């Protein structure tokens, strides 16, 4: 999931993730994502923690983040 840059910082991504976390994650134990450098705080506010892995995907450097559910 990604929010187009001109719509970032408007709460759209947070609303999407919160909906997902409330309604869809009943059967999973963890959810991971690649959070672009600079956005890891956004994911930490939602309960994600960094796995300490930084990788490059195309031209974007990202932290590997995980949310443990069960």
Instruction: Convert the pLDDT of each residue in 27-62 to its tens digit.
Output: 778 888 888 888 888 989 988 898 888 888 888 888
Could you identify the residue written with the tokens 């890891």?
A: 40
Cα atoms found within 13 Å of the Cα of residue 33, Cβ hemisphere only: 17
Could you identify the residue written with the tokens 């705080």?
A: 41
* pTM greater than 0.85: no
pLDDT of residue 70: 55
Residue 48 burial class via C-beta count within 10 angstroms: exposed 0-12, middle 13-18, buried 19 and up: buried
pLDDT of residue 67: 78
Under DSSP, the state recorded for 46 is T
At residue 1, does pLDDT exceed 90? no
pLDDT of residue 60: 82
Under DSSP, the state recorded for 37 is T
As given in the structure block, the two tokens for residue 67 are 């949310």
pLDDT of residue 52: 84
């Amino acid at each position: 999931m990604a929010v187009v840059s001109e719509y970032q910082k408007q709460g759209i991504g947070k609303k999407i993730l919160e909906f997902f976390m409330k309604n869809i994650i009943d059967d999973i134990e963890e959810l991971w994502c690649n959070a672009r450098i600079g956005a890891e705080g956004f994911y930490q506010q939602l309960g994600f923690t960094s796995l300490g892995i930084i990788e490059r995907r195309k031209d974007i450097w990202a932290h590997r983040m995980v949310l443990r559910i069960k």
